RNA sequence: GGCAGGUUACCCAAGCGGCCAAAGGGAGCUGACUGUAAAUCAGUUGCGCAAGCUACGGGGGUUCGAAUCCCUCACCUGCCA
């Protein structure tokens, strides 16, 4: 921490980083954060086998708070994940208990990377299934349900809109807000938690807990939300060919993850540096100048991609993908790369196996997942969008011949400008 | 439980007996221009080299011919109880 950060209030720091959208009584929150360690919690529901870019914002926020001395609780929604937070796109399909349990474990492992669970201010991991599994329906309705007014619940934005939609809303999803409120109450009682954070779309759910605690405990607690991360061109942040930007390496390779960030628009990169990296104001300002003065150098994008990939996948993985990116997108001829450099670079890519017999290029493309099928492969070749070792392929029926294998082992397949895979000969 | 409406490709949505592998929009993909950026313009988006095959919630039927008509099942929604 630089000396300057000591004089900047954590809330102002977070605001500068674009991490603050709404909060309950801001002055009260400001005073609380200033007067001593605040216990804060943020929940993560197991709706998929991995966290994604949206959760990353929350994890970064928690990390900032922990670094400035506050106590952090990371909650995995073993219970809420079985109910489903209502969303505008319609009723969710319930996952099996086994699936939810499995995903809970995966999320736990992922969250652990972002916070410090040792030292003198350790973060703590909690699971809301721990206090809901044994809760009887009667106790739930008497002790918790009695504090909830139907009018308030129905007025919640998502609920109201879902009710007005053709699809409506099930009682299960409607009840979600109570479960989340209960979590906050429970954490307040157990650990003195007085701040809950979340995405701005969670505002209603956060307030559910704030109100429940006010009624049940006659005490005021805080809520703080982060803004929805946006892109300047109006499209959705975090959307890729494969879906979301997953943090799990088995769902999105570190290479693909790095590439996602390095392809950030000029118009967005400074904002993302503030939000997703821990760079100081001075560093960000310098990179901001670099974007204006030398946009083609893409320095800000490189720093962003490097920092975020390191945060999520670690130093070693990042070094590997940076080297791979430089090799594969560098100016030089791929054939001139030495064997070990090329080996490291292609290690990050999806691959297809080159059999003994002659094989069609389009089959390799399909096998490597670069195209959806042979037809799509033919189309890609016809469009001029396929190259092998940076040499454009023009014949849809082209075969890969052994002379194209670099170092006798690899051929770099490229579709479009930046989607890569490798065809590898079986060694032997 | 009753009545009404709905279920079309990644999403929205048109089509209501042949000219439908299915309009239009969104989104995606590719090319040109670039800086692995944006914007713009162009092409493209069921499987198959092709003949052809499989498709409009599932099943059955009418018809020379069905996404389109009939029956039935499933699911969704609304109103009423």
Q: What is the pLDDT along chain A (428 residues), one digit of tens a residue?
A: 444 445 689 999 999 999 999 999 999 999 999 999 999 999 999 988 999 999 999 999 999 999 999 999 999 999 999 888 887 767 777 778 888 999 999 999 999 999 999 999 999 999 999 999 999 999 999 999 999 998 888 888 888 877 777 667 888 888 999 999 999 999 999 999 999 999 998 999 999 999 999 999 999 999 999 998 888 877 778 877 666 889 999 888 898 899 999 999 999 999 999 999 999 999 999 999 999 999 999 999 999 999 999 999 999 999 989 988 888 887 667 888 888 888 888 888 888 999 888 899 999 999 998 998 899 999 999 999 999 998 999 999 999 988 899 999 999 999 998 899 999 997 64
Q: Which nucleotide is nearest to A301 (CA to C1')?
A: B37
| Intervals of CATH 3.10.290.10 along chain A | 348-425
The predicted structure's pLDDT at residue A427: 65
Q: Which residues are CB-contacts of A92 (< 8 A; sequence separation ≥ 6)?
A: A47, A84, A173
A323, containing H or E segment? helix A315-329
Q: Measure the CA–CA gap between A267 and A114, rounded to whole angstroms.
A: 27
- Is the CB of A360 less than 7 A from some atom of nucleic acid strand B? no
For helices A254-262 and A315-329, give the axis angle rounded to 10 degrees. 70
Architecture of domain A348-425: Roll (3.10)
Using alpha carbons, select from A51, A115, A113 the residue that is nearest to residue A310: A113
- When the candidates are 3.30.70.100, 1.10.240.10, 3.40.630.10, 1.25.40.10, the CATH number that belongs to A254-330 is 1.10.240.10
Instruction: Compute CA A169 distance to the chain's CA centroid, rounded to the nearest angstrom.
Output: 27
Q: Which residues are CB-contacts of A347 (< 8 A; sequence separation ≥ 6)?
A: A320, A324
CB distance A86 to A169 below 8 Å = yes
Q: Which nucleotide is nearest to A240 (CA to C1')?
A: B28
- Is the CB of A127 less than 7 A from some atom of nucleic acid strand B? no
Instruction: Compute CA A316 distance to the chain's CA centroid, rounded to the nearest angstrom.
Output: 20
Tell me the CA–C1' distance in angstroms for A383 and B41. Answer: 16
Q: Which nucleotide is nearest to A300 (CA to C1')?
A: B37
- Is the CB of A379 less than 7 A from some atom of nucleic acid strand B? yes
CATH class assigned to A3-226: alpha beta
Q: Measure the CA–CA gap between A248 and A254, rounded to whole angstroms.
A: 9
Using alpha carbons, select from A67, A50, A167 the residue that is nearest to residue A109: A50
Burial class (CB in 10 A: 0-12, 13-18, 19+), A312: buried
CB distance A356 to A406 below 8 Å = no
- Identify the residues numbered 241 to 280 in chain A whose C-beta atom is closer than 7 Å to any atom of strand B: 241, 259, 262-267
- Is the CB of A331 less than 7 A from some atom of nucleic acid strand B? no
| Intervals of CATH 3.40.50.620 along chain A | 3-226
Tell me the CA–C1' distance in angstroms for A167 and B69. Answer: 29
Q: Which residues are CB-contacts of A197 (< 8 A; sequence separation ≥ 6)?
A: A40, A41, A42, A58, A61, A62, A65, A206, A223, A224, A225, A226
Tell me the CA–C1' distance in angstroms for A95 and B16. Answer: 38
The predicted structure's pLDDT at residue A349: 87
- Is the CB of A293 less than 7 A from some atom of nucleic acid strand B? no
Question: Token pair 């670069």 is at which residue?
Answer: A370
Q: Which nucleotide is nearest to A329 (CA to C1')?
A: B36
Using alpha carbons, select from A393, A388, A392 the residue that is nearest to residue A404: A388
Q: Which nucleotide is nearest to A397 (CA to C1')?
A: B49
- Identify the residues numbered 33 to 62 in chain A whose C-beta atom is closer than 7 Å to any atom of strand B: none
Q: Measure the CA–CA gap between A67 and A64, rounded to whole angstroms.
A: 5
Q: Measure the CA–CA gap between A303 and A309, rounded to whole angstroms.
A: 10
- Is the CB of A295 less than 7 A from some atom of nucleic acid strand B? yes
Q: Measure the CA–CA gap between A364 and A75, rounded to whole angstroms.
A: 44
The predicted structure's pLDDT at residue A5: 46
Tell me the CA–C1' distance in angstroms for A258 and B26. Answer: 28
Q: Measure the CA–CA gap between A162 and A86, rounded to whole angstroms.
A: 8
| Intervals of CATH 1.10.240.10 along chain A | 254-330
Residue A249 DSSP symbol: T
Say whether A39 sits in a helix, a strand or coil.
Answer: strand
Angstrom CA distances, A169 to A83, A88, A160, A172, stand at: 12, 10, 9, 8
Within A106-247, strands assigned E span 124-127, 195-199, 222-226
The predicted structure's pLDDT at residue A155: 85
Q: Which nucleotide is nearest to A370 (CA to C1')?
A: B29
- Identify the residues numbered 156 to 175 in chain A whose C-beta atom is closer than 7 Å to any atom of strand B: 163, 166-168, 170
Tell me the CA–C1' distance in angstroms for A421 and B47. Answer: 24
- Is the CB of A301 less than 7 A from some atom of nucleic acid strand B? yes
For helices A299-313 and A53-67, give the axis angle rounded to 10 degrees. 80
Q: Measure the CA–CA gap between A395 and A360, rounded to whole angstroms.
A: 10
Tell me the CA–C1' distance in angstroms for A89 and B72. Answer: 31
Q: Measure the CA–CA gap between A419 and A329, rounded to whole angstroms.
A: 11
Nucleotides of B under 7 A from a protein CB: 27-32, 34-39, 43-50, 76-78
């Amino acid at each position: 921490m630089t000396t300057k950060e000591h004089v900047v209030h954590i809330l102002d720091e977070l605001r500068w980083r674009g991490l603050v959208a709404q909060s309950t009584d801001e002055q009260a929150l400001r005073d609380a954060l200033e007067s001593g360690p605040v216990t804060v919690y943020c929940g993560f529901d197991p709706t998929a086998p991995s966290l994604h870019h949206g959760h990353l914002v929350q994890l970064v926020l928690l990390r900032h708070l922990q670094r400035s001395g506050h106590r952090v609780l990371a909650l995995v929604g073993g219970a809420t994940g079985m109910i489903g937070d209502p969303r505008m796109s319609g009723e969710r399909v319930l996952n099996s208990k086994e699936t939810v349990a499995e995903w809970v474990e995966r999320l736990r492992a992922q969250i652990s990377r972002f916070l410090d669970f040792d030292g003198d201010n350790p973060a703590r991991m909690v699971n809301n299934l721990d206090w809901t599994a044994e809760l009887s329906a009667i106790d739930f309705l008497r002790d918790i349900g009695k504090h909830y007014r139907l009018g308030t619940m129905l007025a919640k934005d998502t609920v109201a809109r879902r009710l007005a939609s053709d699809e409506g809303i099930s009682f299960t999803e409607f009840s979600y807000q109570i479960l989340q409120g209960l979590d906050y109450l429970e954490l307040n009682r157990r650990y003195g938690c007085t701040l809950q954070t979340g995405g701005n779309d969670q505002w209603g759910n956060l307030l559910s807990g704030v109100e429940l605690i006010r009624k049940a405990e006659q005490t005021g607690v805080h809520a703080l939300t982060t803004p929805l991360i946006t892109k300047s061109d109006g499209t959705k942040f975090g959307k890729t060919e494969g879906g979301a930007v997953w943090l799990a390496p088995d769902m999105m390779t570190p290479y693909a993850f790095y590439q996602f960030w390095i392809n950030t628009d000029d118009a967005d990169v400074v904002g993302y540096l503030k939000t997703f990296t821990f760079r100081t104001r001075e560093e960000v300002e310098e990179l901001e100048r670099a974007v204006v003065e030398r946009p083609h150098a893409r320095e800000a994008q490189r720093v962003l991609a490097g920092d975020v990939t390191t945060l999520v996948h670690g130093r070693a993985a990042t070094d590997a993908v940076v080297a791979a990116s430089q090799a594969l997108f560098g100016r030089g001829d791929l054939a001139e790369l030495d064997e070990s450099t090329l080996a490291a670079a292609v290690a990050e890519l999806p691959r297809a196996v080159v059999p003994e017999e002659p094989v069609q290029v389009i089959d390799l493309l399909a096998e490597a997942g670069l195209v959806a099928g042979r037809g799509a492969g033919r189309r890609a070749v016809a469009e001029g969008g396929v190259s092998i070792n940076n040499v454009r392929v023009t014949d849809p029926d082209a075969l890969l011949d052994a002379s194209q294998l670099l170092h006798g082992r690899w051929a770099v397949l490229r579709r479009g400008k930046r989607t890569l895979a490798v065809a590898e000969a079986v060694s032997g």
